[in-house]
Every structure is written in structure tokens, then in C-alpha cells.
């Protein structure tokens, strides 16, 4: 192997690697997380939704308003979905704040009720997690 090519090739490889990393990191992680969360709600998949919970989550729905462990919140949501099957779910608004947290506001409809859904996601280590989830009857 010719040293001349190695000498010039290494900076080029590093430059392209950095460009690739910057390009990939420019994708809005929060929007992907919110889309995945929305899909889990539409599918009434409490297990998939719980993948986005932190170790604890503030959960508010019906008569509940507590901070629950990830596994407790999953069970409560599974029960909620079973008793309130979704007919449609729409994200009406989403945004972010200066501290890197994201939020969404949506509408969860059943055959008999409509719920305003609010979710707050905060960055925890290297990913966004749901810290607060509310289903308020309208």
C-alpha cells in the first residue's frame, strides 16, 4: 500500500465520517419518538408505549393521578385501552422547549367518549422518555 494514499485518505475518511454523523444526528429524534408513541396509542399497545417510559411516569387518567413505576403504568394503560377502545387518535399539536424536552397534545376518541391527551418527554441519558402522560375526559 502506498503511504501517500494513506496519508491523504485518512483525513478524507474522517471528514466523511463526521459529516455522516452530523447528518444522522440532525434528524428530529423527538418527532420520531412522538410518531412511535402515537402509533402505540392507535394500536392500544401498552407494552410498546411503556418502552418510552422512564423508570417512573406521572400518569393521570380517570380517577388516577399518581407517579407510577414503568411496569405499573403499563398495566394501568393496558386496562385503560381494554375498557376504552380507540376509534381514532390524532396529534393536534407538538413542540419542544429550550431544555430539550418535547410535548404533544392529541385527541383520543372512543365510541362514547373523547379524551384530551397530553404527553411530556424529557431527555434521559441518550433518549427521550415519557415523564408525564394525561388522558383527560372532554
Phi then psi dihedrals of residue 115, to 5 deg = -125, 140
- 50: helix, coil or strand? helix
What pLDDT does 99 receive? 87
Distance, CA of 106 to CA of 83 (rounded, Å): 19
What pLDDT does 1 receive? 53
* CA distance to 9, 36, 113, 122, per residue, from 43 (Å): 49, 11, 17, 23
pTM metric for this prediction = 0.76
Query: Please, what's the b/e burial string for 55-86 (b: 16 or more CB within 10 A of its CB; e: otherwise)?
Result: eebbbebeeeeeebebebbbebbbebbeebee
Mean per-residue pLDDT pooled into runs of 10, the chain (138 residues): 52 46 40 91 98 95 94 97 97 92 97 97 90 96
Go through the domains of the chain in sequence order and give each one's CATH number.
28-137 (3.10.450.50)
Amino acid at each position: 500500500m502506498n503511504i501517500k494514499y494513506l496519508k491523504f485518505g485518512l483525513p478524507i475518511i474522517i471528514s466523511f465520517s463526521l459529516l455522516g454523523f452530523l447528518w444522522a444526528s440532525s434528524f428530529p429524534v423527538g418527532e420520531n419518538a412522538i410518531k412511535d408513541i402515537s402509533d402505540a396509542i392507535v394500536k392500544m399497545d401498552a407494552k410498546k408505549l411503556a418502552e418510552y417510559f422512564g423508570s417512573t411516569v406521572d400518569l393521570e387518567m380517570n380517577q388516577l393521578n399518581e407517579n407510577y413505576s414503568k411496569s405499573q403504568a403499563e398495566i394501568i394503560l393496558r386496562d385503560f385501552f381494554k375498557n376504552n377502545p380507540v376509534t381514532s387518535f390524532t396529534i393536534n399539536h407538538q413542540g419542544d422547549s429550550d431544555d430539550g424536552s418535547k410535548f404533544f397534545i392529541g385527541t383520543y376518541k372512543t365510541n362514547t367518549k373523547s379524551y384530551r391527551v397530553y404527553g411530556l418527554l424529557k431527555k434521559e441519558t441518550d433518549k427521550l422518555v415519557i415523564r408525564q402522560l394525561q388522558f383527560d375526559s372532554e
